[in-house]
Amino acid sequence: MYFSKETLEASEKLSRKSSDEVQKALKNHPEQKKRFSTVSDAEIKRLYTPDDIKDINFAEDIGVPGEFPYLRGNQVTGYRGRYWTFRMFSGMGSARDTNARWKMLLREGQTGLSTAFDFPTLMGYDSDSPKSLGEVGKCGVAIDTLEDFLELMEGIPLADVTTSMTINPPATILWAMYCAAADIKGVPLSRIGGTIQNDMLKEFIAQKTFMCPPEPSVKLISDTVEFGTKYVPRWNTISISGYHIREAGSTAVQELAFTLRDGIEYVEDVVRRKGLNVDDFATRLSFFFNSHSDFFEEICKMRAARRMWAKIMRDRFHAKDPRSLWLRFHTQTAGCSLTAQQPYNNVVRTTVQALAAVLGGTQSLHTNSLDEVLCLPSEHAVEIALRTQQILAEETGVANTIDPLAGSYFIESLTNEMEEKAWDYIQKIDDMGGMVAAIGKGFPQMEISEAAYRFQRQLDAGEKTMIGVNKYATDSTHPIPLVDIEEKVGEEQMRRLKDVRRKRDNKAVKKSLDDIRNACKKEDNVMPCCIEAVKNLATLQEICDVYREVYGEYRDPGLY
């Protein structure tokens, strides 16, 4: 029992007394709302007491950092050994522009790079494709060939800096470019480190950056896990992401459940398809969560995620290595919580969300810039966002002790509740035959749709609040300077592409594309052929077209 008999008795007695007092108080001063709930619409009680967590078993359910169930963190020294990685997501215009922004961030104390690609790159189209009209360089950097990539990495010490690349359908290709770049710079693959997002399931569920159907998409991911396990041991070959699920309007529990269930699907596929032992590759898996506005709910979500993954790896996959049980994750503050109205308020929102991520024990953090709801972030806005993290780490003292909220009646109770609800979802998806099958049925998509619609309705009805939007709205504006990507980035990219196509050895390109086609058909690992192809200056789209040809194209089923 977590509490002594005396404590529980006293608690019950005092709670009863308090409850009487509440009834009296309510008569004179009714509460502000009939129902208090989180941003995810989970109901929250007035008061939490020992009674809410009396069934907890301290050693099994809470424990200490660095030990199962890892509720309190993976590292025994927490942030005292090392802060989380300050990793600001950035990318804009041409490779040269982005390279300049990166160098600025490294100068200012950023400790890891994180790449945003433009939509043609994300979707596997070259800058000169008709599909790319108006999109080149807009939401991130445009990469068509290895030449662009080398320019992006110019002057970046690949052996010292870790790089995260937010790339999904063409992840094999961008990672191949990174490997090729390392090779050209004389850095061995064993020394480069970083992350490719490479999580396709959440694309079908939420973000809709997809290319091939789910089944072969998962196969390509398993290829990268296998290749990484064998040759690039410092690389996280997948970042299993709840971030986008949440941005699409899910609840915190849905984010938690769908993300972990995606993780299960990937582990199963690698074990089945590649015959690897779970302990061989478990440390290649990383996670990525959203930190939304509801402070405590977010902290509990992250704590629950760690405990659940440890259980999944131990009990479902029988992992032996303690490190296989670690859920390591990156966090980004919630883009969807930012408002275009009164944009300076976004700094405050981001600060609170970042604090939640830190108290939730994140390994790495991106803080949104105040102008991200309007455009790509300006240099000044990024600086404030980065400073927000530095202030949290070095001024506030929140990093002094590990998991400081543990033991709180409310925190532990909400953590348990969210975990339970998430297990229910996972069970449901298991019963459907797994996540690929559930996606085929539209299950996670529709659950998110319902939640998003409910929130919007609550917002419109004033039941949920967004300051500056449906409450305290003002007409006066304090305009902020916006970053504008010129249309000429597109023209420049087209010129570069034309140049590459003229000077490269087209026979070698054709041969390496044929090799990829054969690897796809024979279910071989595509990574070695991809590295060869990018070195021969095959374009991103040329390789993706091979994938589309062999695996087929996935089109939006348009569930609503």
Q: Residues interacting with other proteins, by CB under 8 A?
A: 119-120, 122-123, 125, 130-135, 138-139, 203, 207-210, 213-215, 247-249, 336, 339-341, 373-376, 441, 449, 452-453, 456-457, 459-460, 466, 468-470, 479, 482, 484-485, 487, 551-560
- Closest distance to other proteins from the beta carbon of 452 (Å): 6
Residue nearer to other proteins on the CB measure, 343 or 360: 343
Element (H, E) at 196: strand 194-196
CA distances, 461 to each of 146, 409, 464, 478 (Å): 51, 32, 8, 27
Residue nearer to other proteins on the CB measure, 67 or 545: 545
Mapping DSSP to helix (H, G, I), strand (E, B) and coil, where does residue 76 land?
coil
Residue nearer to other proteins on the CB measure, 150 or 373: 373
Residue nearer to other proteins on the CB measure, 275 or 558: 558
- Closest distance to other proteins from the beta carbon of 268 (Å): 18
- With 0-12 / 13-18 / 19 or more C-beta atoms within 10 angstroms meaning exposed / middle / buried, residue 205 is buried
Residue nearer to other proteins on the CB measure, 193 or 249: 249
Residue nearer to other proteins on the CB measure, 62 or 136: 136
Contact between residue 371 and residue 378 where contact means Cβ atoms under 8 Å apart: yes
- Closest distance to other proteins from the beta carbon of 187 (Å): 33
- Closest distance to other proteins from the beta carbon of 457 (Å): 8
Residue nearer to other proteins on the CB measure, 375 or 422: 375
Contact between residue 483 and residue 378 where contact means Cβ atoms under 8 Å apart: yes
- Closest distance to other proteins from the beta carbon of 127 (Å): 12
**Distance from C-alpha of 49 to C-alpha of 216, rounded to nearest angstrom:** 50
- Closest distance to other proteins from the beta carbon of 207 (Å): 5
**Distance from C-alpha of 30 to C-alpha of 52, rounded to nearest angstrom:** 25
- Closest distance to other proteins from the beta carbon of 212 (Å): 9
Give the Cα-Cα-Cα angle 260, 266, 272 (nearest 5 degrees): 135
Residue nearer to other proteins on the CB measure, 460 or 514: 460
- Closest distance to other proteins from the beta carbon of 469 (Å): 4
Q: SS3 helix, strand, coil % of the chain, rounded to 5? A: 55, 10, 35
**Distance from C-alpha of 112 to C-alpha of 166, rounded to nearest angstrom:** 13
Contacts of 252 (CB under 8 A, 6+ apart): 38, 39, 40, 42, 246, 292, 294, 297, 298, 301, 418
- Closest distance to other proteins from the beta carbon of 476 (Å): 14
What is the residue-wise DSSP string for 93-160? SSHHHHHHHHHHHHHTT--EEEEEBPHHHHHT--TTSGGGTTTTTTSSB---SHHHHHHHTTT--TTT
Look at the block and give the residue holding tokens 């058909």: 521
Residue nearer to other proteins on the CB measure, 441 or 498: 441
Residue nearer to other proteins on the CB measure, 235 or 455: 455
Residue nearer to other proteins on the CB measure, 246 or 330: 246
- Closest distance to other proteins from the beta carbon of 124 (Å): 10
Beta bridge partners of 90: 115
- Closest distance to other proteins from the beta carbon of 374 (Å): 6
**Distance from C-alpha of 252 to C-alpha of 243, rounded to nearest angstrom:** 10
* Amino acid (one-letter) located at 407: G
**Distance from C-alpha of 122 to C-alpha of 132, rounded to nearest angstrom:** 11
Contact between residue 91 and residue 115 where contact means Cβ atoms under 8 Å apart: yes
Contact between residue 242 and residue 197 where contact means Cβ atoms under 8 Å apart: no
